[in-house]
Chains A and B, each alone.
Chain A
Amino acid sequence: MATDSLSRAFAALADPTRRDIVARLAVGDATVSELAAPFDVSLQAVSKHVKVLADAGLVTQTRRAQRRPCHLDAEVFDLMTAWIERYRRRAEERYQRLDTVLADMDDAEHPTAHPHHTPRDQGAAS
């Protein structure tokens, strides 16, 4: 998935009304008028929101007779979630290494230096 697609997806979700629409579509497909019902906005306004979500690849509108229900495209969400999850796992791996270092520090208030690392300038940190 191209980076700009992901940006469009994140940008589309920056709007609270569009997030509500997505939440509604997560339950099941709905027409624009069904989507508009809980909001104090015009059908046109909801149509615009749906168009932004569609342009971002988050929502598709099928041409089923006159109903044209909106459908949530879960694939994009899966990709966004996968990217964040991958990033999260990398951070988690790092912090698990830090857990180990912190546990070692319990034993020795002054940590043992690792001879193969020789910082040239330790400043005030050490």
Chain B
Amino acid sequence: MTSTRSTRPTEIEADPAVPTIRMVREFDAPPERVFRAWVDPDLFVRWIGPRSIDTRIDHWDARTGGSWRYASVRDGEEIASFYGSFHEVRPHERLVQTFTFTGYPDGVSLETMTFSDLGDGRTRIVGLSVVESMEIRDMILASGMDTGVVEGYQKLDELLAAG
């Protein structure tokens, strides 16, 4: 199970003309497995949030037309929650979701994740997030409206400082 094959780091691209964020990452596992880590709630909670935060799934129906809701919990206290729909669940190929941070209820992001089989047990995912304006997009880039932000910038600032 150990793999020494180098994994290319995550690529992030903010389009200068439209309010999107594009993300590319490769994984050392076949598409079926990567897809399952995304739609199986028991697996999802193990990687989505920072280590200091527990992700509590309140609702999870990973079917086309289904919906989801989860909360970030630190020291037993809910600090943020998120919800959205599973617009399309096409096993091992494509996952389309909406995403709203309840702290900013007017905002909604459309998230399309594509899973490509690279052969040799590897997968490339391409994620495209579309939001309503360049301002919102840049705010997301600057602060993050995902679970990562609730950890605060502390850890990342340390990382950046350590450079």
Q: How far is the CB of B87 from chain A (nearest CB, A)?
A: 14
Decide: B60 and A111 in contact? CB cutoff 8 A: no
Tell me which of A32-40, A44-52, A67-75, A83-91 binds B: A83-91
B128 interface contact, C-beta 8 A: no
Q: How far is the CB of B150 from chain A (nearest CB, A)?
A: 11
The 0/1 profile, CB within 8 Å of A marked 1, for residues 60-80 of chain B is 111100100000000000000
Q: How far is the CB of A26 from chain B (nearest CB, A)?
A: 16
Decide: B42 and A119 in contact? CB cutoff 8 A: yes
Residue of A nearest to B133 (CB): A7
| Contact of A3 with B138 at beta-carbon distance under 8 Å, contacts A89-B159, A125-B62 already known | yes
CA–CA, A11 to B135, complex, Å?
10
Decide: B148 and A93 in contact? CB cutoff 8 A: yes
Decide: B142 and A114 in contact? CB cutoff 8 A: no
Decide: B16 and A10 in contact? CB cutoff 8 A: yes
CA–CA, A101 to B56, complex, Å?
18
Across the interface, which residues of B come within 8 angstroms of A85, CB to CB?
160
Across the interface, which residues of A come within 8 angstroms of B135, CB to CB?
3-4, 7
Residue of A nearest to B30 (CB): A102
Q: How far is the CB of A82 from chain B (nearest CB, A)?
A: 8
Across the interface, which residues of B come within 8 angstroms of A95, CB to CB?
10, 25, 27, 47
| Contact of A117 with B56 at beta-carbon distance under 8 Å, contacts A100-B47, A122-B41 already known | yes
CA–CA, A121 to B13, complex, Å?
35
B34 interface contact, C-beta 8 A: yes
Residue of A nearest to B39 (CB): A125
Show 25 A/B contacts (Cβ-Cβ < 8 Å), sorted by A.
Answer: A3-B138, A10-B14, A13-B16, A83-B138, A84-B12, A84-B14, A86-B160, A88-B9, A88-B11, A90-B146, A98-B27, A99-B27, A102-B27, A102-B28, A103-B28, A105-B37, A114-B46, A119-B60, A120-B58, A120-B60, A122-B60, A123-B62, A123-B63, A125-B39, A125-B40
Residue ranges of B at the interface with A (Cβ–Cβ < 8 Å): 1-3, 7, 9-12, 14, 16-17, 21, 23, 25, 27-29, 33-34, 36-37, 39-43, 45-48, 50-51, 54-63, 66, 89, 134-135, 138-142, 144, 146, 148, 153, 156, 159-160
**Given A91-B10, A94-B148, A124-B62: 11 more A-B contacts, CB < 8 Å:** A83-B141, A84-B141, A88-B9, A89-B159, A102-B28, A102-B33, A105-B43, A111-B43, A125-B60, A125-B61, A126-B40
